[in-house]
Amino acid sequence: MKTRKAFITAVGSLGAICAAVTPIAKAAAKATPMPSPSPKPSPKVSELARAFAEKMRAFDPKLADEEIARIAAGVDEGLALGARINPRGEALRNSDEPATIFEVS
């Protein structure tokens, strides 16, 4: 927004839209019941992630099998995210840093 007046106008119109839509949304929510969510199938996890998750029992021996499965799935998700972010697996050097840009308005 270039001016305060434009910002205030945008915020005010957003508030008016929300106030107008809220009663409609409440009426629609009462009219149609929400379907119950189906249980998610347990994802396939790698043996490495499963073994790592089993090591968590050393910290908390009361962990249930489904908690171990969730930990293993989280480890696999983290590894998959890392592979998408850094597909070539290049390590950062100590001198690598994000570009710092200063802007005066």
**Residue 58 in 3-state DSSP?**
helix
Residue 7 has a pLDDT of 75
Residue 68 has a pLDDT of 92
Report the distance separating Cα 14 and Cα 18, nearest Å.
6
Query: 52: which 2 tokens?
Result: 């790592």
Global confidence as pTM: 0.48
Residue 64 has a pLDDT of 92
Range of lowest pLDDT (17-21, 65-69, 101-105):
17-21
Helical ranges in 1-105 per DSSP H: 4-31, 47-54, 65-85
Q: Which pLDDT tens digit goes with each residue over 42-78?
A: 568 889 999 999 999 999 999 999 999 999 999 999 9
